[in-house]
Structure 1
């Protein structure tokens, strides 16, 4: 840290006199206020010439940067430039090594983001979607490295996989958006690119401050410097924080290796590319319901749509498992410290298991809260339209189910039906046929069903003889054609969810 501070002073980077910067743990550092700092105070300031930006890479790698910029790979080429400043690559970029060695050498040698978790540790996140996301990011990084090396192959540059993971992690966890500085700030020569899109830049020393939210902060750009200002008073002895922005727990865990911010459940139901969010304060994804149903759905379409969402959430919830104890042994990963003691490895694995447990528990809680809220919505809709829907609950202990059986067969016949083991068949057939045919008041039109439906109807029809013996007053005059038509009609006007069949009779 002493070398970094000496270098930063020479570069014109300033830190408030009451702030002490310290190395903190294996993965980072922090700033501490030695005395009270009032709100609105400049905590740190950096001249634009001391910022690491993609234009540095442009000046080093030449015309290749123009191609990379057009492919939105400014961040990747900056990551490659960062690697050329490492001791092992100093011969490729001696000027860069001389200029940035104090900063690069002060960066953590490894990180605790998901790219550094073992396969067993990543498995603790199964079912949450994070495992898929981290694999996708690893593949994206791999392709970016291949493209960058292809364009700068003339330089003879070679990069090991663990070096690339390290460099890209530096950018993802410590970079700032280039929109913080004026477009011309680092332009001391035309590199052939005039991109106005925001891309990652590194701000040495200013990347020392850890995250806290909610915390008001502000940035001030002048003609020559970028300054970081406190938005709230800082008490003496307290840590000085930055605010990394409004991110979800998944983003914090993926990008920084810790948990913060609100739990957010991301839903991507089949057939819909857009992501819809569920939060503790908004457990009902209204935007998703609107996307599925449009502006003016019928009440039964609304029930179907909401139950479909609930089904998707429960399917997602089923794949989530709270991590067992003890955690799986950590597999070696690129960047893990060589010669790490067994106790250090167990401690690292224990911390990651704790993070995974807390994250999965938060996702499970959001699933449950959303299912509960959506189920209440369905109950409210059904209550308002009770005369136009049959709720067939296959849980025989349900009071309404028992009352329906009594009305259908009488107590004695019900006992006979239970003894025969055909209660579910008898009751389902009665409701699906008698209610639909009897209350419709008009002949049914034959409808086509898919092969699976027709096969199920045929299987039920084969049991009609037994049903006639139990309840001849209901099924005695039933013929196969009318039974098939009624079953197909109800199939098209019902939806099943979690053991309950909702049959819509219309308005």
Structure 2
């Protein structure tokens, strides 16, 4: 399936694409396939790149309806067992393989047929590639994702065989489910774009996900009434008036719109902007890293020990935990009546910003201090001197924590087998950028 075929199906469904954009995807050495302006035309600031009718958006609620229809009304709670949208994507792929007619609307058939079949998310990392994530939050995250995929794939397989009567091998089911999970993770948009609340979950918008990410790209996403000049966007509603007469009311169909807020010259790539995210977020959810951002949006996660409530959080190194424990023990010996330590939590420290207040507060507590702001350092008297001394102790402990974390991190890197036969070159390159 080609991009032009998807575009044609979307146009027949009421969607539109800016006339300056080439009707086939171009290719960029760094970002891969994407949208490009034709060599003869550009896009002006404020122009709409595309419009997609809300009725073409794929949400969990719509996926649930479609699954119930396909199952003949059986298992109406299938979405309670597994994610309905992921299950719908898997069923769509299977229907295409089986050449089942009438399972999908034309625009969704063209959209799903064009979706990439391979991904570079940690969900797909082999053991040798997972080993490259040692010492990072992504290692635990990837392992949890893989375990979750196995569990949900088995549930989905049971539903498909029971409700549709289609037999599928376990390994094929796991591959399809992981593909659907990665597709959803890397291409979903906020539900608010379609007028849905957060509980509806992220949505898929055909065409909208064709643009590659560029940090700083000036774009706007919005929900608008269609442009009569470019879209067949007027619907007619008939209602009965109180006097028994018939009134006819025209309503504008609503569209998700992607607007460019900067000029794009002929031949240039038309980029989207996924937001200021860290390379950890990009690798975990999208399967790429941004080597040009120089880590400006990266976030360091730190925990002073104990179990984390989040699968994407990492424990601090053993040496760092020892530093915290040793300092706390020394302080406790000096102050037997010290306050009990607070429950450990994960702290997120954005690069080039001040240390998180929550981290400093927990370090104060680990040293037995009652408060991290009991007295102003600039004040007079013993209280001010005590507060200044406490802050100095916290800074020393923080330095020990960071140094121990870095030593453990670099030691793990030196022991890694970057050239293992199972490690894909693209994966190794991305992980190197992520670990910087």
Equivalent residue runs for 1:343-362 within 5 Å: 349-361=424-436
Aligned residue for 1:240, secondary structure, equals coil
Please list the CA deviations of residues 232-251 of structure 1 after superposition, one character each: whole Å capped at 9, or x if unmatched.
22122211011112211100
CA distance in 1, matches of 2:37, 2:260: 12
Partner of 1:176: 189
Aligned residue for 2:51, secondary structure, equals strand
Would you tell me which structure has more helix in proportion to its own residues? 1
Equivalent residue runs for 1:298-317 within 5 Å: 298-317=387-406
Equivalent residue runs for 1:392-411 within 5 Å: none
Deviation at 1:114, TM superposition (A): 1.8
If the length of structure 1 is used for normalisation, what is the TM-score? Answer: 0.58
Tell me, yes or no, if the aligned pair for 2:348 and 2:356 is still in contact at 8 Å: yes
Deviation at 1:171, TM superposition (A): 0.2
Aligned residue for 2:50, secondary structure, equals strand
Partner of 1:141: 149
Partner of 1:503: none
CA distance in 2, matches of 1:48, 1:171: 18
Deviation at 1:11, TM superposition (A): 2.1
Partner of 1:282: 353
Which of the residues 419, 430, 435 maps onto 1:328?
419
Partner of 1:468: none
Tell me, yes or no, if the aligned pair for 2:64 and 2:79 is still in contact at 8 Å: no
Which of the residues 109, 115, 126 maps onto 1:118?
126
Equivalent residue runs for 1:198-217 within 5 Å: 198-217=200-219
Partner of 1:16: 18
| Alignment CA distance shift 1:4-1:23 (3 Å) | farther
Tell me, yes or no, if the aligned pair for 1:323 and 1:353 is still in contact at 8 Å: no
Aligned residue for 2:25, secondary structure, equals strand
| Alignment CA distance shift 1:66-1:302 (3 Å) | farther
Tell me, yes or no, if the aligned pair for 1:77 and 1:148 is still in contact at 8 Å: no
Tell me, yes or no, if the aligned pair for 1:43 and 1:228 is still in contact at 8 Å: yes
CA distance in 2, matches of 1:6, 1:221: 22
Please list the CA deviations of residues 140-189 of structure 1 after superposition, one character each: whole Å capped at 9, or x if unmatched.
33344445556666314656111111110000001112111123xxxxxx
CA distance in 2, matches of 1:172, 1:212: 18
CA distance in 1, matches of 2:216, 2:299: 16
Which of the residues 241, 247, 258 maps onto 1:228?
258
CA distance in 2, matches of 1:306, 1:150: 55
Partner of 1:55: 61
Does residue 1:95 correspond to 2:102, yes or no?
A: yes
Does residue 1:259 correspond to 2:289, yes or no?
A: yes
Which of the residues 292, 296, 300 maps onto 2:373?
296
CA distance in 1, matches of 2:32, 2:54: 23
CA distance in 1, matches of 2:279, 2:304: 21
Tell me, yes or no, if the aligned pair for 1:269 and 1:309 is still in contact at 8 Å: no
Tell me, yes or no, if the aligned pair for 1:127 and 1:317 is still in contact at 8 Å: no
Tell me, yes or no, if the aligned pair for 1:47 and 1:226 is still in contact at 8 Å: yes
CA distance in 1, matches of 2:258, 2:209: 11
CA distance in 2, matches of 1:10, 1:253: 35
Deviation at 1:196, TM superposition (A): 5.4
Tell me, yes or no, if the aligned pair for 2:157 and 2:173 is still in contact at 8 Å: no
CA distance in 2, matches of 1:95, 1:104: 14
Tell me, yes or no, if the aligned pair for 2:15 and 2:50 is still in contact at 8 Å: yes
Please list the CA deviations of residues 385-420 of structure 1 after superposition, one character each: whole Å capped at 9, or x if unmatched.
xxxxxxxxxxxxxxxxxxxxxxxxxxxxxxxxxxxx
Tell me, yes or no, if the aligned pair for 2:14 and 2:53 is still in contact at 8 Å: yes
**Unmatched tracts of structure 1, length 5 or more:** 184-194, 332-347, 362-507
| Alignment CA distance shift 1:147-1:18 (3 Å) | same
Please list the CA deviations of residues 53-80 of structure 1 after superposition, one character each: whole Å capped at 9, or x if unmatched.
21232113337565746x8x6xx21111
